[in-house]
């Protein structure tokens, strides 16, 4: 696969992508530079979203998973807003990539959410409460999400506004069932 193939494949799905609020996608990283290792490299995309719509972190995870299905390779989706810093006058500065690996923390969150969805797929709340292994697995992934949110600090709000980051950072992890008779 080459950059041109990735772009043409995404263009074939333009209607579907626009219907979920994607206004523009940009390819960057190793595939854009022509240095990708086909069996190892993921596709890095920057997405401009419809400003009139709200997107949850789960919406973004689902979109990233759909893009991976379309391209047949893992995709890292970065909201364009996450690459901009607000300047003193409230205007956005030019895009930048930080030295600190914030993308890793967001990737940890996305991976944890995906696994929670896998662990609980097809379960109702009673099934969940009665399965201590699933409870333990979900609690571990929630802890990973919390730790990643703590690592992100205030960058979380700048790069991905919307989720209640302050609450996520201080959340008490515990899905244990009520054992009182």
List, as one string, the DSSP characters of 62-74.
HHHHHHHHHHTS-
The average confidence (pLDDT) of the chain is: 79
Helix (H) or strand (E) holding 31: helix 30-33
Q: 83 CB contacts (<8 Å, ≥6 apart)?
A: 46, 95, 96, 97, 159
The widest CA-to-CA distance across the chain, in whole angstroms, is 63
Separation between Cα atoms, residue 12 and residue 178, nearest integer Å:
50
Q: Are 67 and 114 a contacting pair, CB within 8 Å?
A: no
**Res. 92 pLDDT band, cuts 50 70 90:** very low
DSSP state, 92? B
Q: 32 CB contacts (<8 Å, ≥6 apart)?
A: 3, 44
- Can you spell out the DSSP letters for 109-125? HHHHHHHHHHHHTT--H
For 1-97, which CATH class?
Answer: alpha beta
Per this entry, what is the length of the chain? 181
**Residue 58 in tokens:** 């789960």
Q: 103 CB contacts (<8 Å, ≥6 apart)?
A: 76, 78
Strands of 21-172, DSSP E:
22-28, 43-49, 75-79
Residue 100 is predicted with a pLDDT of 54
Q: In degrees rounded to 5, what are phi and psi of residue 48?
A: -95, 125
Mean pLDDT of 12-40: 85
Per-residue pLDDT of 99-145, as tens digits, reads: 356 777 888 888 889 999 999 999 999 999 999 999 888 888 888 88
Residue 178 is predicted with a pLDDT of 41
More confident residue, 27 or 93: 27
DSSP state, 162? S
Q: Is the pLDDT of residue 4 over 60?
A: yes
Q: Is the pLDDT of residue 90 over 60?
A: no
pTM above 0.75, yes or no: no
């Amino acid at each position: 696969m080459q950059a041109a193939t990735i772009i043409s494949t995404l263009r074939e799905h333009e209607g579907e992508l626009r219907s979920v609020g994607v206004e523009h996608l940009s390819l960057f990283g190793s595939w854009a530079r022509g240095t990708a290792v086909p069996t190892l490299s993921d596709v890095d995309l920057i997405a401009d979203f419809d400003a009139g719509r709200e997107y949850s972190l789960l919406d973004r995870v689902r979109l990233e998973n759909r893009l991976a299905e379309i391209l047949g390779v893992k995709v890292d989706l970065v909201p364009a807003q996450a690459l901009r810093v607000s300047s003193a006058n409230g205007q956005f500065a030019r895009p930048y990539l930080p030295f600190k690996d914030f993308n890793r923390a967001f990737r940890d969150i996305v991976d944890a959410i995906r696994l929670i969805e896998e662990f609980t797929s097809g379960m109702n709340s009673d099934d969940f409460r009665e399965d201590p292994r699933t409870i333990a697995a979900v609690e571990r992934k929630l802890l990973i999400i919390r730790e990643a949110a703590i690592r992100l600090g205030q960058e979380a709000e700048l790069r991905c506004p919307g989720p209640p980051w302050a609450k996520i950072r201080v959340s008490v992890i515990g899905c244990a069932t009520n054992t009182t008779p």
